[in-house]
Every structure is written in C-alpha cells, then in structure tokens.
Chains A and B, each alone.
Chain A
C-alpha cells in the first residue's frame, strides 16, 4: 500500500502505508524519543497532530496493555522511517501495524524522516495530510493548505472525558518507580481532564491522592462541590488560548484550592494568572530536554510534549515566580505563585515515556496540600 505525506508548504513524501487506509489531517510534528511510541500514540495531547518519530526503527517491541496512556491512540497519523517486520518483547500482544489498523489510524513508513524533521525545525510545524488514497502531490498540498489549523481551536473538548470518574490503578507490577512514601493521610483531589494520561493518575495514586477525574467543562462551583483537598490540572492538546472556559474555571479556583498543573494545566494557570501563551516554532517533543529546577539547582532530564509556551515576561513578577527553566532554549518550564498555593510545570513528571527524574513534583503537591489543608 502506497502512502503520501504532504505539507502545506509543498513538501511531499512518498512511502509505504501501514495501519488503516485513508486520508488524515493534522499538524505535522516530530518526537525525538528513542523508546515509547505506544505511550506517544495514546497521549491525548497529540490530538490533531501527525507525529513523526526521529528514531528510524519503530514497532520493534510491539504493543502491550500496560503501556497504554489512554483508551486508544489519539495521533491523527504516524510517520516512521521503518516499521519493524516483527515484534520482539515478552510483553507484546499485538504488532504496531495491526494496532493502528484496529483503531483506524494511518501510518507511513519508508520516507526520509530526517529531511522532514529538519524541514519542520527550520520552517516550523506545518499543516499536513497523510493519505493512502490520493497520490497527486498538487492535490495533496492543496488539501493540506486548506485543512484547518490547530491555532485557535479548542481540541480539549474532543479528548476530555464525558462524565466524572475515579481511577485507582497502580503502576504496572515490576515497573514501580519513585518514592512511594507511606503517607499518613490519603488526600482527595479533583483532576480536570484536558486529555489526561493514565500515568499521571497512577502517579497521583502512588503519592497518596484519591483522584476524581472530571470533564474540562465542569464549572468551578461543581468542582468545589467535591470538597477536594486540591486541584490537579492535566495535560491536553492544542492551543491553550482557545480553551477559554477552562482558564475561567481555573481563575475562579485559584486561591481556593492548592493547585498543581502539568503541561496544558500549566498553560491554563499561566493564562489564568494574567499571562499570555505563544506558539513555539516546532515545539518540544521528546524525552531528553534538560530542565533546571531553580529552587534546588538540580537538572532533570524531562519528558515533554508541547507546542505552546507561557511567555515568561507576561506574568506579573511580583506574584508569580519562575521555578524551572528549559536549558536548551531558556523557555519557561515551571512556575509558582509567591503567596497562593499553586505551582505548575510545562513538562511531564509522570513521563511515560521518558526518564524518571521529576517524581518529586508529586510529593511537592502533597506537601503543598499538607501545608494549606
């Protein structure tokens, strides 16, 4: 099965299709993680995106039940240099190709992914189309150009849960990590689902939280009805400035509850505190981004997935303090309020995929609640 990938600015690749047949649109982005394609596929933050992996061999270890980060893959399409012909891992239950097919997702392999990545790096993330049905470059480029942009679009509504639910899963046996100090008291929190990953929930559980996940559209009043000890703001896809209702909700809850935000959650806090967000040229996606914790001076290798950032300069200095900075490009990676009990990070301390350097943030959240409870 042939497949084509076309960008809005005219770059077209021809390769082999895998997974489902069809035509799919999205913002074309790349991820530099060497491992963890399954977690990436199932991360709801990739809604609206065609994801290219920089590492050429993908699919080597197949798909297994423990590595899912949500109930199904969210990427719009998957771009790899070479799909593995076999699966080799004792935990694998299915091949990547079969899995994508089962979920109606299209993939392309056999293209010069490095060329694609360099293009995105130099010219910024682009709208694109991935098709197994249309082989005409001109038509494809036109389609890509005419496809909707993710800027200004609320994608959260497409990935958030429909009803509140509780989640009490633990990390899969054999893969526990991080300090699971016995906490004297289980803290009840509400997590607003902007596209939450299972591992965040597992991590919260491990760190002594009882979590109720609620839809992103739930009002501040309804959230307070739960009488939670704290509020968690999850990651999620797309342009943060388009999720105005969530920013509103957060604004209302600031000061009322201790808050911890990750990724989109961090952006929501930033906006609610009066800051602005902007789009990065090509985003941070991978598991090797160095972040410095300005409070301790320690460096964490972090897992990241974001295309937008909170502008450091836009935040009121006397109220908000920068706590973490990205050492590659000096962008804002974490903030806290000088008086109110809230903090957030742009990256993913729950990783999955990625290194386990940032577990302390969950403890920080617990301690924050202890202090302010």
Chain B
C-alpha cells in the first residue's frame, strides 16, 4: 500500500529528559522518524522538552517545540499547529502516557487528530494489567497467575491461592516504588501494606513469581496488511526477577530449540494482533521455565523501546525508521533494506555474531541506596558489544562499560576482601587462600544468589574457587550454557597465567585468547608485562584484529552499509578508502555526568565533517545513541573505547586525526596513549589538555592571567590534610584527585567532618592524593562555553546557575543570559574566559566554571572539551557550536565559518536537571558537589520567570497555583527565608512549617501553622505528605545526614510526587514564576520561530 496522502502534518511526541528507564534510545528513534517522515514529504511537528537531543535540532523537524511534555502544553501546541495525526509510539513510556492522557481529556477528538502507530484502545489493552491479562487469556496464552488486592487481608488471601513466592506490584505508583518479591506471609503483609499505601488508587497486584525462569524478549514489527516479522530475539543472562534493563542480555536467544523459539514467535504474533498494534514495532517479554519449557507472557510494550534500539543496533535493522514508515501506510515489502539495497524489509534478520548488552549502574552516587537488582530498573546506561562468540562479546562488553575493567577480571582491578589485586601474584594468592575459607564461601553464595551489580565477576570468582557450574547454577539460576561459556574464559585464564615466563606458550595461546575476548591489558597482567609490550608481541605474531560487517543477513547478500565490529579471525572486510578520514570518539555508555549531551556533540561533528567532504569514522559502544546509527557517519565501528580497541581501528583506517574533545571525559582519557602511538589529535593540543587538567600547571596558567582560584592544597597523608585545613580554614570542598563527575566530592564544615571523610571516603596516598579547596559558600556559580580556533575565541554563552556553588553544575538549574549578575561582571567573566582560551590555544570547545563570591570571580575548573551544556547553549543562541568546533578542528578558522562575534540569545532559556530519586526510595534528594541528575529539560520564553516556570513544568515539578505549602529550613537560612515566605503568603498560599521555622516566620508577621516533626507525634508532616495535602515543599538541608527527619520528608515527597525545593534561590525563583504565570498564562512557540525573530545577527562587543 502506498503512503497515506490524507494526512499532511504529523505530531511526534518525544520522551523528555533522560531518566532511568528512558535513555537516549528515544532520541535515536525520534530522530529516525523525523528524518524519514520529512523525506516522505510530511510536515513534522515535534515536541520534546529535552534540548540535548538531535531530534530537537531545528533542521530535524519542520516545527520543533521545546516545551514541557504535559497535557496542557500539548493542547496548546495542537491548537496552534493543527496536525492531522499524532505518532505517540516513538517517545517511550512518556510519549505514550502523554498521548493516553490527552486522549482521555478528549484533546485529539476536539482537534481532529488521528493517533497513528497505535490506537488508544491498543495502548490501553497493553498497558492496563487487567485488560492485558484478559486479552492474553482470550488468545490462549499463559501468564503468571495473579489477582488484585485492596487490603492486606485480601493480599494474603490471593497469595495463599497462588502460592509463595509472589510479586507485589502496586498500581499507579511513580517508578514502581513499593513493589517487591515476597517469599512468605510476613514479608507479604509488610510489602502489601506499603504497596497499598504508595498506590494512588490503593491497589496492588499479587502475581505468581516466576523468579529464576529464563527471560526472553522478542522485537517484532507488523504492518497494516498484517505482515509480521521478528527483528531480534534476546535472552537475558540474569534470569527472571532482574529487570531486563538491569540484566546482561544476549542476542540472539541461545538456549531455545527451533520448536521453542517458533512457539514464542507464534505467541508474539498473536499478542501483537490481539492487542491491536496495527503498524510499527513492539516488544514482547516472555518467561520460560527451564525445567519443563512452560512459557508465560510477561508484558508487551506497544511502542519502540530500549530493547528495540538494542535490536536495531544488534541486527542493523532500523526499527524506528521503518515503524514511522509503516505508520503512514507503507507495508514492509515496500520498504527496502538499506544495508543490502536489493532486498526488502519484509524479512527477519539473521546474524552471524553474538551481541551482549551490559547495564551500567551508579549506586556509588546515592548514599543509602539499595543496590539489589529487582523488578524495577536501576541502571543508568548500557554498553553493547559484538563478537563472533559470546565469550568475546562479553569481555568486550565489560571493557566497554568504562568502569575501569578490561574484561572479565584478571585485569589488576579485581577488588576482593577489600584489597585491589593489582598483580598476578596477589591475584593467584588470593584464590589459593580463599579456597577453603568459609567466610569467602558465604560471600560467594550471597553475591551469586542476590543479584547485584558485578554478579558476573562473582561467577568467575566462584569458578576460581572450585565451585562447579551446578553449584553456581543452583545459587544464581543462570543458565548452564552461559556458565559453560564463562568457564571457558576461566580455563583460558588459567592457561594464560600458566604461560607466564614462557614466550613460546604465550605465542601459542595468543590467537585463542583474543578470540575469547581477552584484552592486551589482561594478558599483560597474566604475564607481568605491559599493554604495549603485549601489543607488540601480538603484532609480531600476526595476531591482529579483523573487522567484520553487521549486515542483517549473515553475509547472504552483499552489504553496503559500513557498520563494523572487531574480532580475531581470518578475513578483514574493511575497505579503507583514500579519502581523508577523521575519527570521532564517542562517549560510551550513559552514566551520571556523561550522557546524551556528548553524543549530541559527536553526531554534530559527523554531520559537519561530512559537509566538508571528509570521511567520518565513528567509534562508540552505546546502543541507545544517534551516533551509532549506521547512517550518521560514513563508517561506524561499534567498539569499546579503550586504547587497544581504538588503536586497532586506527591501524586499519589510518585517519588524518582523531577528535577527542566531543565524547566527554572518555576519549580525553585516551589522549596520552594515542599520542604515544603516534596518532594525531585534532583540536586543542594534548599539551594544552594537560595544562588544563594538571593542577599545578593549571594554577600557573591562572596566575598568569590573573584569575583567582579558591585557596587549595594537596594532601597525601592524614596529617597533611589537617595542616591544609588549618591553613585555609573551613568549610572545605574535598575530593580524591583521580575521580571525575564530582565523584566522592564532599563539603566538610569542621574537623570532625574532615576526619570522617579521610577515614571512610578515601584512602589518601602518594599515588592518589586528596584535593582540598576552600569552599566558596553562598557563591553564585557560572558556566561558560567557548569556541576557539587557536586565534579567535568566541563565547557561546554565559550561564548563571540558580543554585549556589557547591551544587554540582550538572545538577543546578542554569539560565541564559545571567539574570542577577551585573553586566560588568559578565563582561569580566567573558574576558577572562577568552584569556584562558588564548592561554590554552583552544581549538574547538572549552568550558569554564566560575564561582562568584562578593563580586570576585574565582575559577573552579576548565574543561578543554565540549561540556554538558553545549546543546543547551547551541539551542539557546541558535548556533550549532559542536558543528563549528568540528570544522575548526579539521582546519577551518572561525572567520571562514563566519562566527567571530558572540550571538545573543533571542529568548531567555532555563536548563533544569532531572533526578532519579524516584527509583531509589529512601535516598535523600539533597544536592551536593557530587552530580546525581540523569537528564535535563529546557524552558524557553520571553523572560526569566516564564522560562523558569516552563523548566519546572518540563521537569515534572509542577508549581501549584494555590494550596498549602510546607517550609522548613536549616538554621542559617531562617532569616533569609522570611522575604520568600512572605511572597508565598502574599500570593495566597497557606504555609505550614516546623516549629523553628514557624517561630521565625510568625515573628515576622507571616501567618503559618506549626506542623509536628516525625518524632513529635501525630498527625505529623508525613501524614500531610501521604495524603498529598501539601503541594510544595521548601526544605533546605541542615546536613545532618541520612538519618535525620528532613531526609525522610524529602524522600517521601519524591514518592508522593510533591515538588521539593531544596535551595532558597530556587524557592525565590519559583515565586517569580508563579507571579508571572498569574499575569500571563504560558504560550508556546517553536524554536524555528524563536530563532527567526532574532534575525540571528545582533552581536555584542
């Protein structure tokens, strides 16, 4: 069927900020959809609140709304744009939920908008547990048995019928809080009680537990003619009970016979038809009992998902792109397979390699978090790897994770019994001693049976401690096939260790070791050698990586898309051209501190360099991204971002240079190694990078241009730390020198705090000193992004943070242009920034953070690379900075590029951060120098108050128009809160406050009611929260730690979806926003209009 001509304008809903469970994959899918629908001649209207996306680039859609993803704003956009259709299946759960809400409010009907991709009824059938269950039963599919309960007694009754263990899942909670697995009545009573409490409709589902069964996913597509294909099957290494998003997963499924697989395929076909997804992709999850093959359906997502992004990258089959085409009426046979060009999309990909996805966690950033992996997702990112065998892919995947591991252990990074086993002797020694140790046995048992991060390593440790596969299986329920593969790795390691000192045996083992995915680092560890020596040995023996093509068809047809992975076999399939090539190193898996923003920059570089006629080579390991779409660059290498892997590609491709400053800290960390191997670095020189990163050299540079730094020192011992502290005085910011992203960074206010930090948080040593800075309290923090070509330096924008210094720049809200700093100060900042850039001869991008205290500018740090704020700035000023930077790095000057004067942002924009606290119940939401946010949104409007309002709406922190608010501030804020509280009072809010705060307010004639603290009796503040009587919380932390009342209040606020403001500056900004909203209700505008109004030429200096 040809495409539909009755629709012309299509609205696409994006997925908003990056949160746990919704990473960059929806930027990938949305971008594909925008591109393909516009190619087909449709007008595309896009709404997404996340500026750090490729899809919200002005050229991606016809009209792009960076507006909050709420029903109110959606209606405004629909009213303005009057689209014919809305495609809600590409924006993750957020997009789908928004469409459902809008439908329920009758908005689509009111404006005559047709839902395409999935109709409302289909979405409901898939999403509503009761309807889903009924539908599955109707088509004869088995599900875990289950029933709803509304009281603890009912829950017990149901569970008795089903038999323990059971899963409790509260309906309508945020982020699945309150769910759990219960093995007995006592546990059930407790879980059901909290579950019912947390459920907005006081309902819990009690479900038969199929924990320990094998978990599978099928990624399927269907067109309007009922043609159906399976794109990919995925098997979870971690059995049922660990969320697929947190599991190590493998494609294709490994342990199903054809009969079992086809039975699953048949079921999937029935599911998608019965649910009624007429066109597009869906994800269907199954559990299979390993003992008898019983198969149950777990859930179906009637949309593209994280797994479909994975499946697309794993097979080369672009699900989202084709889903968009199907949604406008094409059938699968009318779409051609880009990779083979000659065959249609109506086939099922076959692959001749193995794909492994490994999740990346961030537990270390959240004090008091429960690190156990359960039915609710907790990981913040993932890496994917491709190898010819599972063993190879697994080890490549582990080194792609960027957790400083170089494979499945044996890399000098195994930390056991509290000791880092840095040498082969220590390693061998540990296992020799551990064998008979009862404590160790217990520890192994625990780590195997309680799923947590790094369980995969403990499988190996157990094997090294003489456990049998059978014993490991009994503890972990992990399928014996996976265990056997890991066993092969372990046996190989034993052989490698045994070849220590025997070059002949080493040589004989090399190829096989590489085929098993061992890195040169691991080999160096086994042989007391170095990575570079192993590399030399390897090359001298002719054991070199070859690259094979991902082609959707297992080589049955010739592939035209250059999408490669490395392996160790006979034939290399790359055909390096003689065009000048530039390699772009990506950022690897998403993690807190390094996310989609860097992928955005890399993609821009690829586009820009293509424009200039270079051949672009992308290297990345994150399957969620646009950068790993095979048509983003001329060549895609899906590889770990380690020195070894990158050098292998360089050997083959011989690029004229490598871009290291766009992928975050990851590529920057490779600079030394690349330089040592003679690989040219494009952009800012390696020496300058060092100048910015080396503390001493950096201090000299600052001194030269007369920029102040907070007083600081380096401590290598306990005593030194106290000396420095005495010298510069408390409060201090303190951190280990070797970490980034604010990891383990803390503010200490006194000697006790310092002592605690020095004893618990870090071990200071010669190798790893501790950095101590004077904490600039109550200082305003400013971020500046700049672009330079080595001669000319242009400031992108100066961003003023709303929260004060001390809250990580990645976590605070920030505003373009500065809203409280004097113009003279802003000028000074710009000047200093340019001087810094000149000092570093920046070629490309640079980011500087300042703290301004008492009108004095202090430099906090310089990042000689693209920063997290590049997309935000680019969208605010309408200049694609990353693109320009890439061009500069390839040799263009800013003059040639026509960007020599600063661009003034036509509107006010506010970036707000979004946090994962809802997934970590009980964790205090207080902000600190350690970054915790996973994503960001942008509000854009005529003035600061309105832009701030939008940023809050977009971050799902809805500022109430009226009602009761709760104020409780730390001692030092008690006076300062008065004018703010007064404003709230004047705006008509009812204030309740804890005793101390209330007394101050009342003394200042602000009416308020005292509310009891937790231990003061009942009803207390928690009751107000639980019943959602209060609409807003203003609570500045006193820093008493996780056991204090206030921390309970804050974390409860998260669970009950009450916005909680933790700084006075933000509380103040909120009053401005509320006032502004009362005056003029929010309006929407697309960024194409915003930027047009500007004319784009107003310049400052």
Contacts and interface: CB of A to CB of B under 8 A. Distances in A.
B264 to A, nearest CB: 10
B1024 interface: no
Contacts of A174: 263, 293
Given A55-B252, A327-B344, A81 B388 contact: yes
Interface stretch (A71-79, A113-121, A158-166, A189-197): A113-121
Contacts of A327: 333, 343-344, 346-347
A112 B547 CA distance: 12
A351 B257 CA distance: 13
Contact of A60 (B225, B255, B333, B343): B255
A289 B347 CA distance: 6
A32 B350 contact: yes
Interface in A29-67: 30, 32-36, 38-39, 54-57, 60-61, 64, 66-67
B986 interface: no
Contacts of A66: 259
Interface in B567-600: 569-571, 573
B554 interface: yes
A329 B262 CA distance: 25
Contact of A121 (B233, B292, B388, B557): B557
Nearest to A62: B257
A121 B555 contact: yes
B351 A34 contact: yes
Interface string A163-194: 00000000010110100000000000000000
B607 to A, nearest CB: 32
Nearest to B555: A117
A298 B227 contact: yes
B348 A301 contact: yes
Nearest to B512: A110
Contacts of A277: none
B255 A328 contact: no
Contact of B352 (A56, A287, A354): A56
A264 B293 CA distance: 34
Q: Is the interface of A mostly helix, strand, loop or mixed?
A: loop
Contacts of A35: 253, 256-258, 261
A91 interface: yes
A353 B344 CA distance: 22
B252 to A, nearest CB: 5
A118 B480 contact: no
Given A290-B346, A301-B229, A64 B258 contact: no
A355 interface: yes
Interface string B218-243: 00000001111110010000000000
B353 A84 contact: no
A142 interface: no
Nearest to A284: B556
B558 to A, nearest CB: 8
Nearest to A40: B258
A292 B290 CA distance: 37
Given A56-B353, A292-B333, A299-B332, A85 B484 contact: yes
B350 A121 contact: no
Given A35-B256, A327-B343, A328-B342, A90 B487 contact: no
Using C-beta atoms within 8 Å of the partner chain, give the interface range for chain A: 35 or more
Contacts of A91: 257, 293
Contact of B258 (A33, A86, A114): A33
A36 B353 CA distance: 17
B229 A38 contact: no
A97 interface: no
Given A57-B390, A90-B290, A175 B259 contact: yes
A34 B557 CA distance: 17
A60 B553 CA distance: 21
Interface string A119-160: 001000000000000000000000000000000000000000
B354 interface: yes
Contacts of B390: 57
A297 interface: yes
A33 B388 CA distance: 16
A172 B259 contact: yes
B351 A115 contact: no
A94 B717 CA distance: 63
B254 interface: yes
B765 to A, nearest CB: 43
Interface centre among B481, B488, B548 (most CB of A within 10 A): B481
A88 interface: yes
B680 interface: no
A352 interface: yes
A298 B225 contact: yes
A55 B252 CA distance: 9
A314 interface: no
A174 B226 CA distance: 26
Contact of A355 (B348, B353, B354): B348
Contacts of A251: none
Nearest to B552: A288
B487 to A, nearest CB: 7
Given A35-B256, A112-B570, A352-B258, A117 B554 contact: yes
B569 A328 contact: no
A82 interface: yes
A24 to B, nearest CB: 23
Q: Which of B257, B354, B480, B548 has the most CB atoms of chain A within a 10 A radius of its CB? A: B257
Contacts of B570: 112, 115
B266 interface: yes
Contacts of B348: 287-288, 301, 355
A356 B487 contact: no
A245 to B, nearest CB: 34
B227 A67 contact: no
A329 B344 CA distance: 10
Contact of B226 (A30, A34, A298): A298
A177 B347 contact: no
Nearest to B257: A61
Contact of A56 (B347, B354, B558): B354
A81 B389 contact: yes
A286 interface: yes
B263 A177 contact: yes
Interface in A344-359: 351-357
A30 B253 CA distance: 20
B258 A36 contact: yes
Contacts of B488: 85
A67 B266 contact: no
Contacts of B469: 86
A372 interface: no
A89 B255 contact: yes
Contacts of B225: 297-299
Interface string A8-29: 0000000000000000000000
A344 B229 CA distance: 24
A89 B135 CA distance: 30
A314 B571 CA distance: 40
A328 B557 contact: yes
B261 A117 contact: no
Nearest to A85: B484
Contact of B556 (A117, A301, A356): A117
A49 to B, nearest CB: 17
B291 interface: yes
Given A81-B389, A177-B266, A298-B225, 7 more contacts: A30-B556, A54-B352, A117-B554, A121-B555, A175-B263, A299-B225, A328-B344
Q: Lowest 6 A-B CB distances belong to which pairs?
A: A36-B258, A353-B258, A54-B554, A88-B481, A115-B571, A86-B484
21 contacts: A32-B553, A35-B256, A54-B350, A55-B350, A60-B255, A64-B257, A67-B259, A86-B484, A91-B257, A117-B352, A117-B554, A118-B571, A174-B293, A290-B346, A299-B227, A299-B332, A301-B229, A301-B346, A327-B344, A328-B342, A354-B262
Interface of A: 30, 32-36, 38-39, 54-57, 60-61, 64, 66-67, 81-82, 84-86, 88-91, 112-115, 117-118, 121, 172, 174-175, 177, 286-290, 292, 297-299, 301, 327-329, 351-357
